[in-house]
A and B are shown apart, each in its own frame.
Chain A
Amino acid sequence: METSDEELYRRIRKGDRQALAELYERREPALYRYALQLSGNRATAEEAAHEAFLRLIQPDARFDARRGSLEAYLYGAVRNLTRVAYRAQSVGTVGEAAVDDGTVQTLIDGETTRALNIAVRNLPAGYRDAVVLCDLEERSYEDAAKLVGCPVGTIRSRLYRARRLLAAKLRQYRLTPEKIAR
């Protein structure tokens, strides 16, 4: 039987290196992808995933198992870190460059998919989380609700509205491709 994240965390607090390695292997790849889909920037995603684990191993780490799962804590940390980085990026750059850093975009094959990538990142935060977790990470509504910390119904309705917005953006892109990122 697989050791729970919380048990691994308890061992990490006691200085167990192996437990940290195990938790890292288990959770880091998905956290990285999540950060990448939120930020669209590989460097930001790497830093955010790394920083989330760094926070976890600090003596003053604020994880409390009574308030939610360790996975939700890590996702929350990545979400906040990505938002901060994204805001800083937006302040530091102007217009299109703020949303299209060219890092991930170059990996995406197809104009429409690239446009969709930008559109996802420009969604309101709550909608973006729902799309990323449910449609890109393929998590269930229940999982997504736990990770975001809201009711399942909220995730469903956010996803529904987000998809309507994205579909509209894609339709608009087909008509006028140059406007998609706005």
Chain B
Amino acid sequence: MSTAKCGEWSNELAECARRGAGPSEGLSAHLSDCGRCGERWEAERTLSAELRRLRLAHAGERSQDVWRRRLMAEFAPLERSQSRSWFRWAWVPASVALLVVASVQVWLGMPGRNVPAQLSVESEDFAGAGFLDIDEENGFIPVPYALPLATGESVRIVRRELNGAELVRMGIDLPGGYAGGLADDFEADIVLGEDELPRAVQLVSYPELRFQTGEQLQ
């Protein structure tokens, strides 16, 4: 029997034995002729049968529950950290948006902006705070069209320089002698409500105007 011929059948022999299939006609003829290959055929078939038994022994029933629970318990912190990570990233656009809004508000509140009802409260001199009755007897000129102070509403008084134009925009008329001096600066105490909007003005640098309102001047 030539070894070369055994080599030709070697792969088929092994594969048939592995799969538990019967030999083809050609292989069958070779096995009956070659004692060595016949022995190998039997050895391979026995091995395959034993491996099948081994496979069945390993495929026994088993519960994964305990291990699954352990894994899920281990996963929980990761799950939380992933959520935190998402939350952390969400802060970036939120912070940017907040910064933009704050910048816009600061810009809108800058002196010289044409919004008299939103005068800057970052005043030079803090004059006082507390409760106040706004009337002309204590020297304050009410800002026309401003909402009245609620009963018990606390106020803040800030001191700053306003020019004539700003006073006019707030609705406070200048007396005849000053009507042309819109560029003149007037030192004033401004009463701000809890909403930080001006409610009344007292001119400090021109005391002669202190008790005059727009109505009186007309």
Contacts and interface: CB of A to CB of B under 8 A. Distances in A.
B72 A20 contact: yes
Interface string B67-93: 110111011001111110000000000
Contacts of B11: 160
A21 B43 contact: no
A136 interface: yes
Contacts of B51: 116, 131, 135-136
B59 A33 contact: yes
A116 B50 contact: yes
A63 interface: no
Interface residues of A, number: 42
Contacts of A59: 78, 81
A116 B54 CA distance: 8
A53 B57 CA distance: 25
Contacts, number: 95
Interface residues of B, number: 33
Interface string A48-79: 01100110011100000000000000000000
Secondary structure dominating the interface of A: helix
B82 A15 contact: yes
A163 B14 contact: yes
A14 interface: yes
Interface string B34-57: 000000100110111011011101
Interface stretch (A2-10, A87-95, A106-114, A142-150): A106-114
Interface of B: 11, 14, 18, 40, 43-44, 46-48, 50-51, 53-55, 57-60, 62, 64, 67-68, 70-72, 74-75, 78-83
The 6 closest A-B CB pairs, nearest first, are A15-B82, A167-B43, A15-B79, A108-B57, A113-B53, A116-B50
